[in-house]
Amino acid sequence: MSDQLLPSWRPGATRDAVIAFLDAAEEVPVADRMACFDNDGTLWCERPTYVQFDFFVDALRTRAAADPSVKEQAEFAALLSGDQQAIGDIGLERIAMALTGLFVGLSPQDFTARTREFMARADHPTLGRPHRTCTYVPMLELIAELRRRDFSVTVVTGGGTEFVRAVTQDLYGVPPEAVVGTLIEYDYAPDPPRLSRSGRLVGAANEGTAKVSNIQTQLGRRPILAVGNSGGDREMLEWAATGDGPTLALLVNHDDAEREFSYVSTAQTFNEPEPITDVGARLGWTVISMARDWETIFD
C-alpha cells in the first residue's frame, strides 16, 4: 500500500519519513490532526516574483494607464520603470504597502473578484505556463492524503489573507476560513452596512513569530505537521516539531534550477542569523530536495 502513496515523491528517506508520520498520525485523535502549509515557495512557485506581487503590479499598470499621475509616487515610479536599484533602496515592505493602497475602498467581494480574474488569465513570467498551474504536484498529493486521513489542512502564509483566500479552495481544496495570512483592516459604514478595504495592517506581517501567534488566535490548535520553505516559517516549523506525539516539520529546499529555481528562501520582513536550510539540518527537520525527492514538480 505504501508504494502507492505520494506517486510524485521518489523513493528515499524523505518520502519514508513522510509516510511514517502519516501512519503514526493514525493514532492521534482526529480533533488534533491539523497541518499548516506555507503558500509561497511551499505550495506554489514564488520566483522570480511572488504571485501576489505580480497581481499588484498588474493593477498598478492598469491604474497608471488611466491616471498617469500615479507615476509620480516613488514606489510606483520604481516599479513601472523596472529600476531594480530604486526598488532595492525603497524595500519590498514599503512597496507592498504602497501597492496595497491601490485597493483601498474595495469591498471584500470586489477584491476577491479582481484576484480571481487575474488568476484566470495571468502567466508565470519565465516558466511558460499559467500562474494557476505553478502549484507543486507532490504537495497536492500530500494534501489529498492528509485529507483522506481526516486532517484539517490549513494555509498559513505571509501573503495577504484575502488574496490567498480567493484561490485556495480552487487550488488546494482549503476553504477561506482555514487561511491565515497578513491581514488588512476593513472600514465599516452603515445604511446599508458595508465593508471596504483600508490601507492599514492588522498587527504585523504574518512571518516568524507572528505565524505562531496567528495560528493560535485564528485556528485555535497547534499543528502536528508544518510545511514551509523560508526563514519566515522557522517558528511555525519549530512549534509543530516540538509538540506531543507524532509530529513532522517539512522544509522545501529549492535546489532544482533545471525544473524550477535554485535558491535559499528568506524572510521578507526581518533578517535571519542563519540560512533556513542550515536550521533545518541542525534541528533534524525533514528537508525536501526538489531535485532529488520529487519526480514531478508541475502538472
Q: pLDDT tens digit string along 18-74? A: 999 999 999 999 999 999 999 999 999 999 999 999 999 999 999 999 999 999 999
Residues with Cβ within 8 Å of 217's Cβ and at least 6 positions away in sequence, in order, are none
Cα–Cα distance measured from residue 299 to residue 44, given in angstroms and rounded to the nearest whole number: 12
Q: pLDDT tens digit string along 184-242? A: 999 999 999 999 999 999 999 999 999 999 999 999 999 999 999 999 999 999 999 99
Q: pLDDT tens digit string along 62-84? A: 999 999 999 999 999 999 998 88
DSSP classification of residue 289: E
The pLDDT value given to residue 93? 81
Residue 2 scores a pLDDT above 70: no
Rounded to the nearest 10 degrees, the angle between the axes of helix 108-121 and helix 161-172 is 50
This prediction has a pTM of 0.96
- Domains parsed from the chain with CATH numbers: 2-49+131-293 (3.40.50.1000), 51-121 (no CATH)
Distances (CA, A) of 30 to 87, 147, 148: 47, 11, 12
Q: pLDDT tens digit string along 231-287? A: 999 999 999 999 999 999 999 999 999 999 999 999 989 999 999 999 999 999 999
Residue 115 scores a pLDDT above 60: yes
Q: Which of 174, 297, 5, 173 is nearest to 288 (CA)?
A: 297
Distances (CA, A) of 114 to 23, 167, 220, 268: 41, 11, 30, 25
User: By the 8 A CB rule, do 160 and 52 touch?
Assistant: yes
Residue 1 binned pLDDT confidence (cut-offs 50, 70, 90): low
The pLDDT value given to residue 19? 98
